[in-house]
Amino acid sequence: RCKYFKNKVCTLTINRPEQYNALNIEVLKELDSQFDAISKKKDCRAVILTGMGDKAFIAGADIKAMSRMDINAARKFSKFGQDLTVKIEEFGIPVITAVNGYALGGGCEFAMACHIRVASTTSKMGLPEVSLGVIPGYGGTQRLRELVGKGKALEMITTAGMLRAEEALSWGLVNHLCEPEELITFCEKIASRICKNSSVAIAHAIK
Active site residues: 109, 129
Which residues are bridge partners to 103 per DSSP? 58, 125
Return the HEC string of 140-165. HHHHHHHHHCHHHHHHHHHHCCEEEH
Q: In what order do the strands lie in the sheet with 116-120?
A: 2-6, 9-14, 46-51, 95-99, 116-120, 176-178
Query: Strand (E) positions, the chain?
Result: 2-6, 9-14, 46-51, 56-58, 95-99, 102-104, 116-120, 124-126, 162-164, 176-178
Which residues are bridge partners to 176 per DSSP? 118
How many CB atoms neighbour CB 28 within 10 A? 20
